Amino acid sequence: MATEEKTSLGASRVRLDFNPSSNVDVAAIKRLTAALIDLCIKLDKGNGEQRRIIALANNAYEEAAMWAVKAATFG
């Protein structure tokens, strides 16, 4: 049985491995966005208000990545 590498939440959210065109800009956008999401998750101290803020930041990162990928593949 092969060992599976644990995928970070950030990598999962931006679908880091999905890049059918192998576009280097898309790969960079997704890699950096995944890192930002994972960093925010590390900041979580369990406070309700802080968790809400982290969730908002992560949603904004995911949306920004979507638009950036669209820009990188436009045309």
Report field, pTM of the whole predicted structure over 0.85: yes
**Could you tell me the residue ranges of all domains in the chain?**
9-72
31 phi/psi in degrees, rounded to 5: -65, -45
pLDDT at 75: 83
C-alpha torsion 75→69→27→30, nearest 10: 180
For the chain, what is the radius of gyration of the CA atoms?
14
Q: Are 14 and 37 in contact (CB under 8 A)?
A: yes
Q: What is the pLDDT along the chain (75 residues), one digit of tens a residue?
A: 444 457 999 999 999 999 999 999 999 999 999 999 999 999 999 899 999 999 999 999 999 999 999 999 998
C-alpha span between 1 and 53 (Å, rounded): 40
